[in-house]
Amino acid sequence: MPETFTSFFLRCGRERFDAILFDIDGTLSSGVCPLPGARELLLLLEAEHFPYILLTNDSCNSHEEKAAILRGGNIPVTAERIYSCGDVLKYWKKESRYNGELLFQCGKLGNPSYAVQADINVTTDPARLPECKGVIFGEGAYNWQPALEGVFNYFLANPQAPLIVVNPDSYWPSCTHSGMGIGSGAQARFICAVLKDAGIIVEPLYIGKPYPPIYQGIMAELEELLGKKILPERIAMVGDSLASDIKGANANKLCSCLVLSGITTPELAAQASEERRPEMIFSGV
């Protein structure tokens, strides 16, 4: 059995890393319950003032909401320790030379909203789609049919407009029932598939893990936080998903650390293709 991330950290992690990024579900928690060692590790990092951030594809909950959910499960986290793919909207805004145009938002982007915090002008009213200059996929519980049909018709008329998908995940453990919920990435790909049937190709811009924007965003954030230039190989990305955490970390040259406490079995880890192969494997945090 491989050692835990904590025992590695205590042995040599302080010298090896400048900061640690943690995935949440399957890494620190299962649902809202802490996984073994997670609480103790976070308390240790706090006590040592060692930089760490919880890097999440959850754009449905603001930092305050996410931290409150985790604290409710006895995972000691404050809002400033959360970095969401929703936070990257502010960098998108800068790079796309966004100029206050109205965008249509499917679903939710937290309260307070990541779009509003990035100063992006959004509406969730499908009747206003003709005024919009693009679409942002949020997530969570919302009335899909009018929104998705509206978006389909919008791209039929505006095939060049941007389609921004904040959370690329296909599915995740549902917060409203005991099974899996269908994620915003799957909804966006569904729209793209229907558009393709209609002869229109729309390439979404994905923001969250494993895509580059969230890693570019968090690296900029860490450099600001630590006040120095950071080498990506000195950042540990600790997560349970080969397709998301490990692939994203490898593509962005971070040190990819797989934990076997979530969705990846040792057999799956052993079969991983090169782009999804973890640099280090731990039994859990």
Where does the chain have alpha helices with state H? 5-8, 14-16, 38-48, 63-72, 89-95, 114-117, 144-157, 184-197, 212-226, 247-251, 266-270
Q: List phi, psi (to 5°) of 2.
A: -65, 160
Chain residue whose CB lies nearest Mg ion: 26
The residues pairing with 104 across neighbouring beta strands, listed in sequence order, are: 123, 135
Piece of 28-36, 123-131, 198-206, 235-243 that binds Mg ion (CB under 5 A):
235-243
Q: Which is nearer to Mg ion, 23 or 87 (CB)?
A: 23
Closer to Mg ion by Cβ: residue 134 or 239: 239
Question: From CA 150, how far away is CA 261, in angstroms rounded?
Answer: 40
Using the rule CB under 5 A, give the single segment among 79-87, 191-199, 218-226, 234-242 that binds Mg ion: 234-242
> What minimum distance in Å lies between the beta carbon of 223 and Mg ion?
25
**174: CB partners within 8 A, 6+ apart:** 180, 181
Q: How far is the CB of 240 from Mg ion (least distance, A)?
A: 4
Which C-beta is closer to Mg ion: that of 26 or that of 134?
26
252 phi/psi in degrees, rounded to 5: -105, 15
Single out the residue of 67, 240, 246, 255 in contact with Mg ion (rule: CB under 5 A).
Answer: 240
Q: How far is CA 172 from CA 63, 141, 145, in A?
A: 19, 13, 20
From residue 23 to residue 62, the character string flagging contacts with Mg ion as x (rule: CB under 5 A) and all else as - is x-xx------------------------------------
Binding mask 129-168 for Mg ion (x = CB under 5 A): ----------------------------------------
Q: Positive or negative, the Cα torsion across 145, 149, 152, 154?
A: negative
The answer for 204, left when phi > 0, alpha when psi is -120 to 50, beta otherwise, is beta
- Considering only the stretches 126-134, 159-167, 212-220, 241-249, report the one whose residues sit in contact with Mg ion under the rule CB under 5 A: 241-249
Q: Summarize as ranges the residues that interact with Mg ion (CB under 5 A).
A: 23, 25-26, 240-241
